[in-house]
Structure 1
Amino acid sequence: MVGSIFKQEVAKATGRSWEQWISILDRSVDPLGSHEQIRNHILEEHGVTEEWSEWISVLYEQLLGRIPVGATKDAGVQIGVRRTLAITKEQAWNFLLSPAGLSLWIGDVPPLKLQIGQEYESKEGVSGKITAVVPYHKLRMTWKRPEWDNPSRLQLYFLSTKSGKTTLAVHQEMLDEVYMRER
C-alpha cells in the first residue's frame, strides 16, 4: 500500500503522479527484472534522481509482490532500534515520560496519564492512545503524525542489562509504506 505522503512527494519530485508511474512501468519494465534493472530503467529513461529511482522501484516492486526490507505479513511496515544506556531503566522511563523527554518524541504535550485508553495530542498534532503500560518496562500506544493517513503502533521497552545499564528498545509497526519507515 502506498500512502498519501509518498504520493505527494513523488509527484512533487518527478512531476508525475504515482498512478502515472504505475502505468508507465507496467508498459516498460520486465516484471521479472531485478531491482537494479528496474531502478536503472527509471533512472536512465525518465530523468529521475537516483534517490527517486530507488523509491519508485522499491514501491513498484511491492506491487509486483516483492517484499521490501521492513515489511511484514501481519504488522505492516516496521522499524526497530535498540540502544544501551548507562542509566537505570527507572531513569530512562522517568526521562522519556518527563516534559523534556516527551517533547523529543511526541512534542509539546501535557503530562501523560499512564493508563490504558488515555488519549493524547501534542501541539504539533502528534496523537494517539495508550494501549499497554507496565511501569519501568513497557509502554505501547498508537502514534500518528498529522500528515499521516493512519496511526502506527509504537512500543517502548526498558530492559535491564547484567552490567546495570538499560537497553531501550523502540519498535514502530503498522506504517503505511517503506517510504514512511525511511523518513
Structure 2
Amino acid sequence: MAKNIGLTKDSGWQFGVRKTLPSNLEHLWHLFFSEKGLKYWSEEVDQNFSTFKEYSHIRTKWKHVGFEENANLQIRFIPSKDKDKTTISIHIDQLKNENQREEARNYWSKIIEILPSLLQTESQ
C-alpha cells in the first residue's frame, strides 16, 4: 500500500515549510506582525488568533480562495543558537484532500520565499 505524503491519521492532510532568516527573534517577530509585515503573509488568514504566544507562535484559521472550509494554520518562530537568525516554520493541517494540500504547498511556499524581501524593504 502506497503512503500518501501529507495524510495524517487524525488531522486530514497537512503541509509544512520553514525558512531561516538573517534576523534575531524579537526583531523578526515585530516586523512580521507590523502593518507592513502583515501585508506580506496574512491574506486569507483569520487575524483573530486562537493562540498568540509572543516570540514563539500563533495559531489561527486559514481559508484559501476556493476552499469551502478552514484549515488550521500554525506559524512558529525558532531562534538560532547564535541569536542572529530565526527560523519561521509554517504548518497547515485539516486540509480536505491532496489537492488542497498541493494548493497550500504552492501558496505558503511562495509566501516563505518572499519573506526575505520584507527584511530588505525595511531598510529602504
Smaller-chain TM-score range? 0.7 to 0.9
TM-score, normalised to structure 2's length? Answer: 0.72
Structure 1 position 92 matched with structure 2 position 28: yes
Gaps of 5+ in 1: 1-64, 108-125
Tell me how many residue pairs correspond in the alignment: 101
Partner of 2:92: 172
Give the strand-richer structure, 1 or 2.
2
Name the structure where helix makes up a greater proportion of residues.
Answer: 1
Code of the aligned partner of 2:61: T
**Which letter maps to 2:7?**
A
1-structure distance, mates of 2:66, 2:32: 24
Larger radius of gyration: 1
* CA distance in 2 between partners of 1:144 and 1:96 (Å): 20
Task: Give the equivalent residue in structure 2 for 1:132.
Answer: 51
Which of 18, 22, 34 aligns to 1:82? It is: 18
Pairwise CA distance, 1:151: 0.3
Q: CA RMSD in A?
A: 1.7
Aligned partner of 1:182: which letter? E
Distance 1:95 1:181 in 2: 28
User: The residue matched to 2:90 in structure 1 has which SS?
Assistant: strand
Equivalent residues in 2 for 1:100-179 (5 A)?
100-107=36-43, 126-128=44-46, 129-164=48-83, 165-179=85-99
Matches within 5 A, 1:26-37: none
| Deviation at residue 170 of structure 1 after TM alignment | 0.8
**SS at structure 1 position matched to 2:100:** helix
Give the share of equivalent positions with the same residue, in percent. 32
Secondary structure class of the residue paired with 1:68? coil
Amino acid corresponding to residue 85 of structure 1 in structure 2: L
SS of the aligned residue for 2:59 comes to strand
Structure of higher RCO (CA pairs closer than 8 Å, 6+ residues apart): 2
- Secondary structure of 1:104's partner? helix
TM-score relative to the length of structure 1:
0.51
> Runs in 1 of length 4+ with deviation above 3 angstroms?
none
Q: Which runs of 5+ in 2 are unaligned?
A: 104-124
